[in-house]
Chains A and B, each alone.
Chain A
Amino acid sequence: MLRVKNLRKSYFMSEGAVPAVQGISFDIDEGVFLTLLGPSGCGKTTTLRCVAGLETPDSGEIYIGNEPVFLDGKGILVPPFRRGVGMVFQSYAIWPHMTVFENVAFPLVHGGFKAPKAQVKERVRKALELVGLAAQENRPAPFLSGGQQQRVSLARALVYEPKLLLLDEPLSNLDAKLREEMRLELRELVKRLKISTLYVTHDQEEALVLSDQIAVMSEGHILQKGSPREIYLDPRHPFVANFVGNANFIEGFVEPGKNGHPDFVVGTALGQMSCRLSSEIAKGERVSLVFRPEDVVIHTTAQSSRVNTFPGIIERLIFLGNRIYCEIRSGAFLLHGETNARTEIQQGANVFVEIPADYVRVLRAQ
Chain B
Amino acid sequence: MEKVADVSLSSSGVQAAKSLREIISGNSIAVFFAWAACAVILLLTTLILWMSFSRGLPFESGFSPDNYAEVFGSEHFWTVVLNTVGVGLGTVAISIFFGVPLAWLLNRTDIPMRSLFITMLAVTVIMPGLVKAMGWIMLLSPQVGLLNRLVMGIFRLREAPFDINSLWGISFIQGLMLTPSMFFLISGPMRSLDSALEEAAEVVGANRLKIIVWITSPMLWPAILGGIIYIFMTAIAMFEVAGLLGGLSENRILATEIFLAVQPFEGSSEIKYGVAGVYGLLIMAPSLFALFFYFQSLKQAHRYAVITGKGYKPKDFPLGSLRYPAILFVLFYLALAVFLPFAVLLWASLLPSLRMPSVEALSLVSFKWYSEIHYLLGGFDVMRNTLLLVVGSSALVLFFSFMISWVVVRTKLRTRRLVDTISMLPHAIPGIGFAFALLIAGIMTAKWFPWVPFYNTVWIIIAGNVLNRLSYATRITNAALIQVQQELEDAALICGARKWVSMLRVMMPLIRPSLVFAGLWTALLVFREVSMALLLIGPKNKVLATQLWILWRQGDLSQASALSIVLILITGLLILVVQRATGKIGEPRSLPQLGGGG
Contacts and interface: CB of A to CB of B under 8 A. Distances in A.
A74 B16 CA distance: 10
B22 interface: yes
A161 interface: yes
B20 A75 contact: yes
Interface stretch (B104-112, B210-218, B239-247, B491-499): B491-499
Contact of B12 (A52, A83, A156, A160): A83
Interface string A96-122: 110000000011001111010000000
A82 B19 contact: yes
B258 to A, nearest CB: 43
A180 to B, nearest CB: 24
B485 A162 contact: no
A95 B9 contact: no
A101 to B, nearest CB: 14
B16 A54 contact: no
Contacts of A65: 6, 9
A106 B23 contact: no
A110 B490 contact: no
A161 B3 contact: yes
A113 B22 contact: no
Most buried by B among A106, A112, A160, A193: A112
A91 B485 CA distance: 9
Interface string A134-163: 000000000000000000010011001111
A112 B15 CA distance: 15
A91 to B, nearest CB: 5
Interface stretch (B45-53, B194-202, B460-468, B506-514): B506-514
A244 to B, nearest CB: 28
Interface string A69-90: 1000011111111111111011
A56 B492 contact: no
Interface string B3-18: 1111011111101110
B586 interface: no
A93 B23 contact: no
Mostly, the A contact residues are loop
A93 B12 contact: no
Contact of B496 (A74, A76, A81, A153): A81
Contacts of B505: 106, 110
B488 interface: yes
B494 A86 contact: yes
B26 interface: yes
B555 to A, nearest CB: 54
A320 to B, nearest CB: 33
Interface size class for chain A?
Answer: 35 or more
Interface in A166-195: 166, 193
A171 to B, nearest CB: 16
Contacts of A86: 494
A34 interface: no
A53 B496 CA distance: 11
A54 B510 contact: no
A160 B497 contact: no
A193 B2 CA distance: 11
A45 to B, nearest CB: 11
A86 B490 CA distance: 12
B493 A79 contact: yes
Given A77-B23, A161-B4, A82 B11 contact: yes
B23 A79 contact: yes
Most buried by B among A54, A90, A93: A93
A56 B12 contact: no
Contacts of A53: 23, 493
A160 B4 contact: yes
Contacts of A74: 17
A263 interface: no
Contact of B19 (A77, A85, A115, A193): A77
A283 to B, nearest CB: 54
Given A69-B12, A111-B492, A111-B497, 9 more contacts: A76-B16, A78-B12, A80-B494, A82-B15, A91-B487, A93-B488, A97-B512, A112-B496, A163-B6
Interface of A: 52-54, 56, 64-65, 67-69, 74-87, 89-91, 93, 95-97, 106-107, 110-113, 115, 153, 156-157, 160-163, 166, 193
